[in-house]
Structure 1
Amino acid sequence: MNYQAFAFLYDSLMEDAPYERWIDYLRLQLNQRQFDGLSVLDVGCGTGELLVRLQKEGAETVGVDLSLEMLSVAKEKCEQAGFSPPLFHQSMTDLEGLGSFDVVTIFCDSLNYLETEVEVCRTFEGVHRHLQEGGFFLFDVHSLNKIQEGFIGQTFAEDGEDLAYIWTSFEGVYPHSIEHELTFFVREESSGYYERVLELHKQRTFSIKQYHDWLIKAGFCDISVYADFTVATPTDQSERIFFTARKKMRGK
């Protein structure tokens, strides 16, 4: 399937994603109304939705993603918005040579695609290397409750004219992990027939304490933890956990 079709699937599936709420959360955590001149590395940038919004807010953006198809779509989307940010094809576990940034983000539960402690720690270390002293690292993950109660054993479906899908979630191999089995039926514009597309996505989350300890180990400080796009303390019922951390200043 070509990247235009793949983008149609992804952006259609994510059309209700609260991108503006991620921007608002970033604005709140940085205590800035605008991001003029702020250098931001968006890890797991996908099709570039956050890159476009950050650029409109005045940020100088760079994107990185494991998927070449996603990066191709992000490139086209950003160019249509009037700018061409550097886009890199890398795994978040092996970030290298991207520059030095005021802010690094890993939003939209992208970090949950890492299945092992080693992968998470390598990602934190890579982010730390790419931050300026005092720079901010912000990310969100699924809560333990979201994995156990919100996904496992659940089936989601949508029946649209051009796109229909069935999304079933199963318990994964690792503790607090999930496997999403997605079946898409995509209408081909030329023929009117539907193409069947299968996707398997694996995600895993860890406890707040584990993420906190791994951030400390990677050299971060001033770690704050919130829930569900707010500044509220997470509870057992929270669904999305947000972390904000800073790279230590030398000598402090």
Structure 2
Amino acid sequence: MEQDRERRLIDAFLVATRTLVGDYDVVEMLQTLVDEIAGTFELDAAGITLANQDGELEVVAATSTRTALLELMQLEAGEGPCVEAYADGEPRHADTVDELRMRWPSFAVAAEAAGFASVHSIPLRSRDVVLGSMNLFRSAPGALAERDLAAVRALTDVATISILQQRSTDQAARTQEQLRRALDSRVAIEQAKGFLANTHQVDPDVAFSLLRRWARANNVLLQDAARAVTDRRVVIPPTDAAPSPAGR
């Protein structure tokens, strides 16, 4: 069991660090990262929010549609751990339902309805630059183990560095473009998820899995796969059968 955990932790770091060289898909990297973190540290859910060019947080990756909706709720309410972690660049946590209710009443209602009893938010921060937050959810009360928290912080730091890496002489412009592309990609992905879910009458999370599997199998960026689906240039079946170009 311990070896499996260490292997998943290594895999999570590989996901984050391989992006330091060459072009990469920000959304796919962050999505894989939250999946690995949730599985490695026995969390019930995880998500990442990033700030757009106007400084407003948007959900970029989540382990489930339920988690994404919870993230959206706190962004719309302007209240919650991820909002505060981004605002001042410091971690926020609540280890019990009572703490949730006391600190973020509106968010607590939605968190309880989603089945969560504790939450921890870690800012995606590098020095004075804060890009967003990593948000961890558990159905059971209680704090995360210190070593787990340290590992998640390290992964969050690596992800932040990956996004901030300089690829042009104008780093500020490069970073804004990277974030804009990531957020635009998420819109395209959500549209493709909705299309596949409606077409195949499946859960949105299943639709997302179909989309990611096809993108990986065909070595295509996730956002490009999403646009191919919504533009009807490719047909992804609800099984592992080979997808075919639209119109065939």
Structure with the largest fraction of strand: 1
Structure with the largest fraction of helix: 2
